[in-house]
Amino acid sequence: GEDVEQSLFLSVREGDSSVINCTYTDSSSTYLYWYKQEPGAGLQLLTYIFSNMDMKQDQRLTVLLNKKDKHLSLRIADTQTGDSAIYFCAEKTSYDKVIFGPGTSLSVIP
Amino acid sequence: EAGVVQSPRYKIIEKKQPVAFWCNPISGHNTLYWYRQNLGQGPELLIRYENEEAVDDSQLPKDRFSAERLKGVDSTLKIQPAELGDSAVYLCASSSRQETQYFGPGTRLLVL
């Protein structure tokens, strides 16, 4: 079945770049997403990439997609303390179902 | 533009009691989703509606869970009777375009 995997924890110093990695299993996925969840809140869509793209940049966020290896990454440049949150990778499968990973908890050290 | 609205935000009940959650999607969004998020995990889809029609309810435990979206706008998710393992965050999301979903703040359920 479909599965999305992420490392569970990442710790970086303020001002450094953060890279959160994700792997997925459905080679026919159409869209891949990154969501952010702060404590006690719902999921906030950060960015998404269509499966025929390799890269997407949006201000401090850069998404890289390696479709051959089914690997997705999110790079946050100049990481700030306000970026501390849980980041979820998700894929939209070929039959329109969105599968979420377990989330990566990002801690930013001042 | 108002986001997805959910109520209540928190609910504490005893096991075997019924509970209901309400969701009002973003205006104009035809697709509505209910997810369950267990502690330390990502959301898992319970049911997806296209207007009034439930197009994917394969993960909904139908023995105790029910949902409705009678007029194709707001929706209610019900659990009867609740079990200890139902403690989780119940998230509602909506979308108008195929590629993006917008989430509400969730209802945190604790079953004692």
Question: Closest by alpha carbon to B102, among B10, B30, B16?
Answer: B30
Contacts of residue B40 in chain A, CB cutoff 8 Å? 102-103
Backbone phi, then psi, for A83, in 5-degree steps? Answer: -85, -10
Predicted pLDDT at A96: 80
pLDDT tens by residue, B14-73: 999 999 999 999 999 999 999 999 998 999 999 999 999 999 999 999 999 999 998 889
Q: What is the pLDDT of residues B86-99, one digit of tens each?
A: 999 999 999 987 67
Taking alpha carbons only, the member of A100, A85, A98, A93 closest to residue A9 is A85
The helix/strand/coil state of A35 is strand
The CB density around residue A7, as the number of other CB atoms within 10 Å, is 13
Q: Is the Cβ–Cβ distance between B11 and B31 less than 8 Å?
A: no
For B2, the token pair is 């108002």
A12, A108 in Cβ contact below 8 A? yes
Strand pairing partners for B22?
B7, B76
What confidence score (pLDDT) does residue A1 get? 63
**Partner residue opposite A103 with nearest CB, options B42, B102, B105:** B42
Of B41, B56, B91, the CB nearest to A42: B91
pLDDT one-digit tens code per residue, A22-51? 999 888 888 999 999 998 888 999 999 998
CA B86, B89, B95, B101 dihedral sign is negative
- Flag whether pLDDT at A97 surpasses 90: no
Q: How large is the average pLDDT for residues B96-107? A: 87
Contact across the interface for A42 and B40, Cβ inside 8 Å: no
